[in-house]
Amino acid sequence: MRSLKHLLAAALIGLSSVVVVASAAAAEGVQTIYMNASGDDARDGATPGSAVRSLARVQQLVAAGPLDTDVEVRIHAGTYVAQGIVWQTYRPGHTITFMPDDYEYGEGRDGIAALPVFQNARASGSGRYITGPWFYACPGNPGQPLAGGGTAGLRFYYLQVEHYASSALSLDGSAGSCGGGYQPSSAPGLPSARGLNGNTAFGMRFTKIGNAYTGGSCDDPDFLRCGYGGIVLTESSDNRIENNHFVDLRNSENSYIHAVYVTHKSSRNRFAGNQVTGVSSEPIKVRDGSNFNTFEQNVFGANGFLRASPSMVHYREEVNEAGNECSSYHNRFVGNDLGTYLIGSTANLPVWLLTPPGPTYKGAAACPALPAGEVRLTTANNAY
């Protein structure tokens, strides 16, 4: 499979007047940073009246703040136009939360006036959408927190992300992360030795992701741009992905892109209560030693656009033997509403596919056998 390339730069910085808004009071012992689409990145973000405009400025403020507190990034409703950001700033043992400024923990969508919208920017010369994901998180720089990976504690609540090329949210804890291409951090079949773990995406809306909306092609060297997933996990474990909407994730080739792509030693992730519609390849894809993941109680709408090979399914696990990849095991796809999936106009899609086949197939020669009693996938109570 083609490498996932992250050609990223800092988010666009714009300067304009500040609109003062009512907002939730800052929690005690929490660094609160306010964002506003009319904000000013020359300011400190400490109050609604001194709100900043870009995630690039937010990252500067988090890096300059105390390491022993949580962070809340309170975002006013509006449209934030910027290319994606590379995020490498963390508070070990604490969380960094991105949410609407009127959000209160535990409330639903009805409690929020409007979802803040993060929309991809266009290149100033060509006018093309800029390549890469919206939010690409990887371990910290040398000498900085989480330089060797670990629990990142990033949390995203009730935001809308649109018109990004490769993914909306990409969490990458691999040895070659931060733009260096995938390099495994441990031997085949062993857990990640780094990881970027313990993150949350809840109530988000990911829409118009992939080259069908940004231009380009998965195969065109002059305009190489390929969508891989709404959320892409690479050596990223123990994440909670719940109650999100994945709407219209498509490549023009009707291939490669998924609602969630769980790849390369990404384990113990929970994908539950999500709504998925308009995805041009398998909504769920798992790959290479990604174990103990759960996909349950999701609602799938009309997806399953034609793909020549292999056959389209809801859940697919893939092993690339030539890449020394290993099978994944103890994954569960249960209790899902399979919606209206069609091949052409005649048949519902199958539920799952293992490639290569075999419930206990281990993968490449270098891979250990699956643990005794384990199988690659368990399915139950999925229904149209």
Position 338 pLDDT exceeds 60: yes
Q: Which of 49-58, 205-214, 259-268, 299-308 has the lowest mean pLDDT?
A: 299-308
Position 10 pLDDT exceeds 60: no
pTM of the model: 0.91
Q: Which residues pair with 306 in a beta bridge?
A: none
- Mean predicted lDDT score pLDDT of the chain: 89
Dihedral angle of Cα 14, 125, 163, 5, to the nearest 10 degrees:
-100
Predicted pLDDT of residue 350: 81
The rounded Cα 117 to chain-centroid distance in angstroms is: 16
Q: Half-sphere exposure (CA, 13 Å, Cβ side) for 212?
A: 19
Burial of 69 (0-12, 13-18, 19+ CB in 10 A): middle
Predicted pLDDT of residue 339: 80
Domain residues of the chain, as ranges? 30-70, 77-380
Answer with the residue of higher pLDDT: 367 or 175.
367
Task: Give me 104's structure tokens.
Answer: 């209160």
Q: pLDDT-based confidence at 310, cuts 50/70/90?
A: low
Per-residue H/E/C for 118-131: EECCECCCCCCECC
Predicted pLDDT of residue 13: 30
Distance CA 33, CA 35 (A): 7
- Decide: 282 and 315 in contact? Cβ < 8 Å: yes
Distance CA 134, CA 111 (A): 25
DSSP letter, residue 280: S
Q: Which residues contact 275 (CB under 8 A, 6 or more apart)?
A: 244, 245, 246, 247, 298, 299, 300, 301
Distance CA 282, CA 369 (A): 27
Q: Which of 134-138, 151-155, 313-317 has the lowest mean pLDDT?
A: 313-317
H helix intervals, the chain: 55-64, 211-214
Position 100 pLDDT exceeds 50: yes
The rounded Cα 225 to chain-centroid distance in angstroms is: 17
Position 341 pLDDT exceeds 70: no
Position 8 pLDDT exceeds 60: no
Distance CA 164, CA 45 (A): 26
Predicted pLDDT of residue 340: 67
Q: For the chain, what is the largest distance between any 2 Cα atoms, rounded to a whole number of angstroms?
A: 63
The model's pLDDT over 214-265, given as tens digits with 9 standing for 90+, comes to: 999 988 888 888 999 999 999 999 999 999 999 999 998 867 899 999 999 9
Q: pLDDT-based confidence at 304, cuts 50/70/90?
A: low
Rg (CA), the chain: 20
- Decide: 290 and 328 in contact? Cβ < 8 Å: yes
Predicted pLDDT of residue 222: 81
Q: Which residues contact 342 (CB under 8 A, 6 or more apart)?
A: 302, 304, 348, 349
Predicted pLDDT of residue 24: 38
Task: Tell me how far CA of residue 59 lies from CA of 33, 87, 363, in angstroms.
Answer: 10, 7, 40
Distance CA 218, CA 10 (A): 24
